[in-house]
């Protein structure tokens, strides 16, 4: 029988992704890092909000620069701690300090909250394992879910205004919970299976090339733009954004939407259909290789959500549709 720790560390990768790596043994955590963790977790409080416990780490930290392997060891060693759900903030603190620009998380920890909290612009966090609620909460970088993530992932994410690069996106490649990207102002892309409320109250650009539960892009705010080239229902319910669906779908209440383009109207705008097809072609390879998602975001350039909105509005303008 495989010990509990090994079961967590050496799980199967999501379908369509890389073959499982040889079994890894992360060993015992570094003693200094463990001391910092124990001092922090003793004072951390449950259900007080992410900011309080995250800022507490600034007091407990000893200017350590732990490796990703050492941080994984902390997770495995303290997985039965009564406050274990807070460990995601501990990891986030050191991920954010790390010199690494691309960080991959690979453990099965669906009990963990707030992994990727406040991820800085210029960094990419890839979930290859399982994580719980609020993955990437208030992040400013690129988040890629190639494993499984819980509800409210990508809440309140947006590019840092002072960062001219502005690379900030959320890409879902596998299984994810409800209300992804709520109140975000960035690019949200779904290529797989998302639950209820993907893109709720968002302000950026939402691309659905997969399957979403009900109320895709519901209650979105001007100037949000939805491009639906996949499956969903009650799309754009109570939205005031621009809603475009190149597939047959059922819309919700769209009386306040800036404009709605249903499948038959999209077919009358060949340039728009071609543009949506090109976007899909950019992101589709990421289904089998998460690195392709990162390449697609970089190919679109800084502030990808604004570029997509501008491109589409210019296409509609040339087709004699005023969406202002």
Give domain status of residue 19, yes or no: no
- Helix or strand run (H / E) with residue 244: strand 242-245
Same domain, 174 and 78: no
Give domain status of residue 184, yes or no: yes
Confidence band of 47 (pLDDT split at 50, 70, 90)? confident
Q: Choose one of 45, 77, 101: the last residue of a domain.
A: 101
Same domain, 176 and 324: yes
β-strand 142-145 against 250-251: which pairing, if any?
unpaired
CA proximity to 306, closest of 167, 117, 145:
167
β-strand 142-145 against 130-131: which pairing, if any?
unpaired
The chain-wide mean pLDDT, for the chain, equals 90
Residue 7 above 60 pLDDT? no
Same domain, 84 and 164: no
Average pLDDT over residues 244-272: 97
Please answer whether residues 200 and 222 qualify as being in contact, where contact means their C-beta atoms are separated by less than 8 angstroms: no
Same domain, 70 and 212: no
Same domain, 40 and 186: no
Q: Choose one of 54, 79, 101: the last residue of a domain.
A: 101
How confident is the model at residue 25, as a pLDDT? 60
Same domain, 257 and 178: yes
Residue ranges making up the domain that contains 88:
1-11+24-101
Same domain, 43 and 165: no
Give domain status of residue 126, yes or no: no
Q: Choose one of 82, 101, 120: the last residue of a domain.
A: 101
Percentage of the chain modeled with pLDDT above 90: 82
Please answer whether residues 173 and 286 qualify as being in contact, where contact means their C-beta atoms are separated by less than 8 angstroms: yes
Taking the C-alpha atoms of residue 214 and residue 27, their distance in angstroms, rounded to an integer, is: 44
How confident is the model at residue 166, as a pLDDT? 63
Which residue matches tokens 């728009």? 272
Residue 174 above 70 pLDDT? yes
Taking the C-alpha atoms of residue 264 and residue 247, their distance in angstroms, rounded to an integer, is: 9
Residues 6 or more apart in contact with residue 132 via CB below 8 angstroms: 85, 88, 109, 110, 111, 112, 113, 115, 149, 150
Q: Kindly report the CA angle at 36 between 35 and 42, in degrees rounded to 5?
A: 90
Same domain, 94 and 225: no
Q: What are residue 18's phi and psi, to 5 degrees?
A: -60, 155
Same domain, 92 and 143: no
How confident is the model at residue 54, as a pLDDT? 94
Residue 15 above 90 pLDDT? no
CA proximity to 190, closest of 166, 214, 216:
216
Give the strand order in the sheet containing 211-214.
108-109, 130-131, 148-149, 175-176, 193-194, 211-214, 231-235, 250-251
How many domains are contained in the chain?
2
Residue 163 above 90 pLDDT? no
Same domain, 92 and 138: no
Give domain status of residue 56, yes or no: yes
Taking the C-alpha atoms of residue 119 and residue 166, their distance in angstroms, rounded to an integer, is: 13
The residue length of the chain stands at: 324
222 vs 191: which has the higher pLDDT = 191
For residues 245, 203, 175 and 278, what is the CA-based torsion angle, rounded to 10 degrees?
A: 50
Residues 6 or more apart in contact with residue 64 via CB below 8 angstroms: 30, 32, 33, 36, 94
Residue 24 above 90 pLDDT? no
Give domain status of residue 288, yes or no: yes
Same domain, 183 and 252: yes
Please answer whether residues 173 and 191 qualify as being in contact, where contact means their C-beta atoms are separated by less than 8 angstroms: yes
Give domain status of residue 108, yes or no: no
Give the strand order in the sheet containing 169-172.
102-105, 124-127, 142-145, 169-172, 187-190, 205-208, 225-228, 242-245, 259-261
How confident is the model at residue 21, as a pLDDT? 45
Q: Which two tokens stand for residue 269?
A: 């705008």
Give domain status of residue 139, yes or no: yes
Same domain, 37 and 143: no
Q: What are residue 120's phi and psi, to 5 degrees?
A: -70, 160
Taking the C-alpha atoms of residue 169 and residue 157, their distance in angstroms, rounded to an integer, is: 8
**The model's pTM:** 0.90
Give domain status of residue 268, yes or no: yes
């Amino acid at each position: 029988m495989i010990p509990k720790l090994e079961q967590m560390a050496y799980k199967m990768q999501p379908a369509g992704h890389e073959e499982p790596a040889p079994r890894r043994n992360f060993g015992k955590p570094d003693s200094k890092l463990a001391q910092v963790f124990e001092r922090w977790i003793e004072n951390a409080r449950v259900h007080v909000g992410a900011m309080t416990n995250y800022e507490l780490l600034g007091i407990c930290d000893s200017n350590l620069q732990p490796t990703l392997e050492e941080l994984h060891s902390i997770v495995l060693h303290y997985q039965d701690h009564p406050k274990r759900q807070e460990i995601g903030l501990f990891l986030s603190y050191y991920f954010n300090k790390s010199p690494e620009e691309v960080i991959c998380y690979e453990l099965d920890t669906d009990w963990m909250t707030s992994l990727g909290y406040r991820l800085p612009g210029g960094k990419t966090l890839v979930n290859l394992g399982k994580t719980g609620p609020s993955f990437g909460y208030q992040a400013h970088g690129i988040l890629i879910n190639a494993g499984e993530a819980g509800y409210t992932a990508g809440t309140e994410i947006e590019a840092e205004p002072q960062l001219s690069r502005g690379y900030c996106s959320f890409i879902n490649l596998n299984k994810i919970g409800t209300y992804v990207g709520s109140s975000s102002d960035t690019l949200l892309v779904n290529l797989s299976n998302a639950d209820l409320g993907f893109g709720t109250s968002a302000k950026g650009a939402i691309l659905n090339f997969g399957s979403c539960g009900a109320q895709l892009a519901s209650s979105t705010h001007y100037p949000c733009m939805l491009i639906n080239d996949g499956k969903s229902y009650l799309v754009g319910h109570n939205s005031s954004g621009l809603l475009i669906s190149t597939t047959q779908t059922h819309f919700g209440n769209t009386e306040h939407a800036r404009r709605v383009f249903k499948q038959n109207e999209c077919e009358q705008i060949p340039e728009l259909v071609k543009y949506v097809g090109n976007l899909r072609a950019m992101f589709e390879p990421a289904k089998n290789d998460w690195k392709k998602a990162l390449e697609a975001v970089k190919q679109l350039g800084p502030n990808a959500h604004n570029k997509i909105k501008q491109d589409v509005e210019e296409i509609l303008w040339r087709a004699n549709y005023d969406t202002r």
